[in-house]
Amino acid sequence: MFRHEKITLPYLQITDYPQLSWRGLMLDVSRHFYSIEALKDIIDLLAYYKMNVFHWHMTDNEGWRLEMKKYPKLTSIGSWRKEIYGSKMYGQDSSLNWKDTYRYGGYYSQEEARELVAYAAERQITIVPEIEMPGHSGAVLAAYPQFSCSQLPQSVPNSALFNKYNPAPSPNQEYCAGNDSSFLFLQDVLREVMSIFPSPYIHIGGDEVDKTQWKQCARCQKRMQDERLADESELQSYFIKRIARFLETNDRKLIGWDEILEGGLPKNATVMSWRGEKGGIMAAHAGHEVILSPSDPFYLNRYQADPEHEPYAAKYSINTLARVYAYDPYPRALTAAQRKYVKGIQVALWNEFISDRNHVEYMLLPRLPAAAEVAWSKPENKNFEKFIERLNLGHFQSWSWKGCPPLLYTLNSPFLPFLF
């Protein structure tokens, strides 16, 4: 993806260092699958802009993407789903032929994952794997339904999941928190994950847990009674804390989305705050490390300009280049002493609607360089107009020769509103 040409510089001294130690991108490969070569190109792009964390979202309801030696059904069943021609995830379309399906999916072998870890390490990038729990686990429970509350057979969810015209059966998406076998399974999985990824951090998700099944599950209710837990939020906290203790015994640290605050935060856990900054502020006040990834403006799967002129995207906010660039990584609610808990920032690309690498790169660029500058440069050293000038001094052109898709967003294009 990158040219490697020898250049000669005059004798000089460069003093430069980042303000934040965690400068990351999260990529969702569950909703849509991308080749290892495509991921290498993305890692090259991260290295080019001095970002140092690739958060690999490898599991979700719609697909499990990593080979597990002890649990082969995770890939033989959990990595594949029946998709509908012409459908969009979360789309609502009554005109589609829901009987006309095709097999969609894929997974990465452990050898491929190790290859990518080494490739990233050569470029000073740490890969942090995410294994979702206790929710967002529909693909796992299709492969091994005994770890759900109902223990009933189900299929891997597809794009019909939230379609009001032709809805799919509502699948189990949460592990049974009252079943010790759920934890033994997850410990086995995490051992294999840790054998592949040397990252000191393991991301366990922890977001958007639907506690309906837990409320109806006799095993979960008994667990609450035995552990003297007041409600299902405390049961969620019990689940996360149990996994955190296991990771700690293996010299790893737990990261979770800000929902892990609910019911009580595990000791030494790092909070990745996506629902605005509130969760991050709460965690910092409690003395926990924080990674800020507020969906507005850091979710790059959202529109970057007027939706009329853009590919279909998440609609919750329009995250323009200017809004990404203007972000201040230190919330005003933090004191000077509490700012030390802000470990870094991270942009995220959830890929419900992004099915190929060209679309991935279109959504990343040019907002990724803007986020990189937020993470690297202090506010007093940032200037949006000069940033745009620098983009026009070769960056747009370099993206083209690196193999990125033709760029619509030059300064004289009709897509100028994406800047502001």
The rounded distance, in Å, linking the Cα atoms of 55 and 409 is: 27
Q: How far apart are CA 110 and CA 67, in angstroms?
A: 6
Say whether 359 is catalytic: no
Measured between alpha carbons, how far is residue 363 from residues 297, 299, 391 in Å? 13, 10, 16
Cβ-proximal residues to 124 (8 Å cutoff; 6+ apart), any chain: 47, 52
Say whether 288 is catalytic: no
User: Helices 218-226 and 232-249: crossing angle, nearest 10°?
Assistant: 70
Q: Residue 171 has which token pair?
A: 């699948």
- Annotated active-site residue in 57, 136, 288, 359: 136
Q: Which two tokens stand for residue 181?
A: 């076998």
Within a 10 A sphere around the Cβ of 190, how many other Cβ atoms? 20
Whether the Cβ atoms of residue 370 and residue 324 lie closer than 8 Å to each other: yes
User: Pick from 302, 286, 304: which is nearest to 294 by CA?
Assistant: 302
- Cβ neighbourhood burial of 385 (10 Å; 0-12, 13-18, 19+): exposed
Q: Which one of the listed residues 28, 60, 232, 373 is annotated catalytic?
A: 60
Contact 288, 265 (CB under 8 A): yes
| Cis previous bond, 297, omega within 30 | yes
What is the four-CA torsion angle of 232, 235, 241, 247, rounded to 10 degrees? -100
109-131: burial string, b at 16+ Cβ within 10 Å, e else: eeebbeebbebbeebebbbbbbb
Q: Is 361 a catalytic residue?
A: no
State the catalytic residue, choosing from 208, 227, 328, 389: 208
What residues act catalytically?
60, 136, 208
